[in-house]
């Protein structure tokens, strides 16, 4: 085993006879064994000058280059031998081994294109090579060429129809292609064959869940529900399936079923915060705010510092209140063409009762207006009533003495919700002013639309009074700041609208005068039960040729639920 001495001895032989084959062969083997690959290859090349195209020497050179990880050169030599000696299985097998080794090396270096070519060559020569099939499929999956990966696996399954690894790989490819139904059909069969394989069982569950989510995204809630129920058939306590079922039933407004699965989950996990909050959401949607609040409050007690839980619990608490008291004050300054100023302030107290099942509100309002000629008092009864998800009615009746306000005020509107967040309004307004011997009747039409956090509304009025027809229009826009409660608003109007609270007491004297108004406002809700708002408006009215009157309004309102 003294290789260095042996090598010197063989070199002496070659000095005597440079073409002596045994001395060459021993020397090549020793150099290759010592990993002196360059010297070994050089000696092979020298031997080939004496024995050109010798298959034994070429095979040895290819083997040395392969050990040197020069697989490309090695396989080129081996390919030539394989072509020259097609019946020699050793050459074919060695070529395949070199290609496999080269492919693995390229995969390790993440050179997937080169690796793909090596394994393709192997599969082309030996379609039954399972390792090459798996490597090739893995490359196509890693590079997201799922169609090619599926084709490779399908070819492999022609020879190994029941191979578990290939079937698992096919299922994973189909899952990546979002063909979840065919994917879980495969894993379902595998679970039956290997009932104690946890990984297969979990893969089957994940594919069913993914299929359900896909159906949900497509708006096919019934199909989604079917998939989630299949999960519960094999894993009754699976929290994902229970959560998805609850959510899907909520989205499809099947609240009884949503509550049933939420309660089922809480039967397994009694103090689970997620499902307890889900129960609160369901009761909220059923307008059972007392029960919803209790559920949310139980979660808050377990997580007293969680800001989101505090906020949601406060919101639900506010929905349990059925009453609201409000105070309003209108500070109005009127400036005529002689720069003479007068005040037209109005103070208001109001009460609102919230109806059960989110059906709307009924309430009353007392308006007080002190003037130099006396005190104006107006009593209003007002309601908003939700008939169903599409239609809502608004009604108002007002009675007053004859000093400031219209003696009789009647108003009605019907609102209709349309797809894509559109809303329409049709209404009628009636005002009677005995002190002016005037009655006005107005027909209005309005349309509103929401765009994310932005809301816009425009209304047009056709007004008949004193035998004349008049027109008014009002545009309102809101930019919501959070949760559709706090907002900034802006208004722009033309004409004299019968809905303008600060001016309708003077409507008969204003109708024929061109009027423009512009205003801004801000509303803030505190703890979901206190509402503070402030609005400013400027009215500019033309009284005659070159004569104008200005009115400046500041309106402050505070509301509190209890």
pLDDT, residue 356, reads: 87
pLDDT at 506: 74
Neighbours of 112 (CB within 10 A): 17
The residue extents of the domains of the chain are 321-561
Residue 161: is its pLDDT beyond 90?
Answer: yes
pLDDT score at 90 = 94
Burial readout 522-545 (b: 16 or more C-beta within 10 A, e: otherwise): ebebeebbebebebebebebeeee
Instruction: To the nearest 10°, report the CA torsion of 28, 34, 38, 39.
Output: -50
Give 378-417 as a DSSP string.
EEEEEEEEE-SSSEEEEEEEEEE-SSSS-SEEEEEEEEEE
Quick one: pLDDT band at residue 14, thresholds 50, 70, 90?
Answer: confident
* Closest among 438, 432, 407 to 509, alpha carbons compared: 438
For residues 365, 370, 373 and 376, what is the CA-based torsion angle, rounded to 10 degrees? 0
As a whole number of angstroms, the distance between CA 313 and CA 528 comes to 10
List b or e across 445-481, with b for residues whose CB sees 16 or more CB atoms inside 10 angstroms.
Answer: ebebebeeeebebbbbbebebeeeebebebebebebe
Q: What pLDDT, on a 0 to 100 scale, did the predictor assign at position 167?
A: 96
The 10 Å Cβ neighbour count of residue 147 is: 10
pLDDT band at 175 (very low <50, low <70, confident <90, very high): very high
Report residue 466's pLDDT band, with 50, 70 and 90 as the boundaries. Answer: confident
**What local confidence, expressed as pLDDT, does residue 24 receive?**
86
Which pLDDT tens digit goes with each residue over 494-519? 999 999 988 877 778 888 889 999 99
Q: Which residue has the higher pLDDT, 452 or 557?
A: 557
| Residues 227, 214 contacting (CB under 8 angstroms) | no
Residue with tokens 């803030």: 524
For residue 559, give the DSSP letter.
E
pLDDT of 32 > 90? The answer is: no
Kindly give the pairing relationship between strand 323-335 and strand 341-343: antiparallel
Look at 85 and 547; give whichever has higher pLDDT.
85
Cα 363 to Cα 352: distance, rounded to the nearest angstrom: 4
* 277: pLDDT strictly greater than 90: yes
| Mean pLDDT of the region 529-534 | 96
Q: Are 446 and 458 in contact (CB under 8 A)?
A: yes
3-class SS letters over 171-185: HHHHHHCCCHHHHHH
Q: Does residue 334 sit in helix, strand or coil? A: strand
Using DSSP bridges, classify how beta strands 360-371 and 374-386 pair: parallel, antiparallel or unpaired.
antiparallel
Mean pLDDT of 152-156: 94
pLDDT mean over 313-318: 94
Proportion of the chain above pLDDT 70, given as a percent: 100
CATH number (3.90.920.20, 2.40.110.10, 1.10.10.10, 2.40.160.40) of 321-561 reads 2.40.160.40
With 90 as the cut, is the pLDDT of residue 543 above it?
no
pTM exceeds cut of 0.75: no
20, 41, 99, 273 from 23: Cα distances, Å: 6, 15, 31, 82
């Amino acid at each position: 085993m003294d290789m260095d001495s042996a090598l010197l001895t063989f070199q002496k032989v070659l000095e005597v006879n440079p073409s002596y084959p045994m001395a060459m062969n021993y020397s090549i083997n020793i150099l290759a064994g010592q990993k002196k690959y360059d010297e070994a290859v050089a000696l092979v090349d020298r031997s080939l000058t004496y024995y050109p195209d010798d298959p034994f020497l070429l095979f040895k050179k290819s083997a040395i280059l392969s050990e040197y990880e020069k697989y490309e050169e090695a396989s080129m030599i081996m390919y030539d031998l394989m072509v020259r000696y097609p019946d020699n299985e050793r050459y074919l097998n060695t070529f395949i081994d070199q290609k496999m080794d080269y492919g693995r090396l390229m995969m390790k270096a993440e050179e997937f294109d080169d690796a793909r070519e090596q394994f393709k060559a192997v599969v082309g020569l030996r379609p039954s090579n399972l390792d090459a099939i798996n490597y090739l499929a893995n490359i196509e999956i890693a590079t997201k060429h799922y169609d090619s990966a599926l084709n490779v696996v399908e070819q492999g399954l022609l020879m190994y129809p029941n191979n578990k690894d290939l079937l698992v790989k096919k299922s994973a490819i189909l899952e990546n292609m979002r063909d979840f139904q065919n994917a879980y059909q495969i894993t379902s069969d595998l679970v039956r064959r290997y009932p104690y394989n946890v990984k297969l069982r979990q893969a089957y569950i994940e594919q069913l869940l993914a299929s359900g989510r896909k159906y949900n995204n497509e708006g096919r809630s019934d199909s989604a529900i079917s998939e989630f129920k299949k999960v519960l058939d094999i894993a009754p306590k699976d929290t994902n399936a229970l959560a998805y079922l609850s959510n899907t039933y909520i989205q499809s407004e099947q609240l009884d079923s949503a509550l049933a699965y939420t309660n089922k989950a809480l039967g397994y996990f009694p103090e689970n915060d997620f499902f307890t909050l889900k129960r609160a959401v369901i009761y909220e949607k059923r307008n059972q705010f007392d029960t919803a609040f209790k559920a949310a409050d139980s979660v808050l007690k377990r997580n007293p510092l969680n800001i989101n839980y505090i906020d949601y619990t406060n919101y639900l608490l506010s929905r349990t209140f059925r009453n609201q008291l409000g105070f309003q004050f209108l500070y109005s300054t009127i400036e005529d063409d002689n720069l003479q100023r007068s005040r037209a302030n109005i103070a208001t107290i109001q009460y609102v009762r919230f109806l059960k099942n989110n059906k709307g509100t009924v309430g009353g309002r007392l308006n007080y207006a002190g003037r130099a000629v006396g005190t104006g008092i107006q009593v209003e009864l007002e309601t908003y009533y939700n008939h169903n998800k599409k239609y809502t009615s608004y009604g108002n009746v007002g009675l007053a003495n004859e000093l400031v306000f219209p003696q009789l005020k009647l108003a009605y509107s019907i609102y209709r919700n349309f797809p894509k967040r559109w809303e329409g309004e049709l209404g009628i307004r009636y005002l009677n002013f005995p002190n002016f011997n005037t009655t006005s009747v107005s027909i209005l039409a309005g349309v509103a639309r929401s765009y994310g956090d932005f809301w816009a509304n425009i209304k047009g009025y056709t007004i008949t009074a004193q035998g004349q027809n008049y027109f008014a229009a009002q545009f309102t826009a809101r930019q919501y700041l959070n949760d559709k409660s706090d907002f900034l608003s802006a208004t722009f109007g033309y004409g004299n609208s019968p809905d303008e609270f600060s001016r309708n007491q003077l409507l008969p004297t204003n109708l024929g005068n061109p009027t423009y108004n512009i205003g801004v406002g801000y509303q803030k809700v505190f703890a979901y039960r206190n509402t503070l708002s402030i609005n400013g408006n400027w009215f500019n009215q033309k009284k005659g040729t070159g004569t104008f009157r200005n009115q400046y309004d500041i309106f402050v309102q505070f509301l509190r639920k209890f």
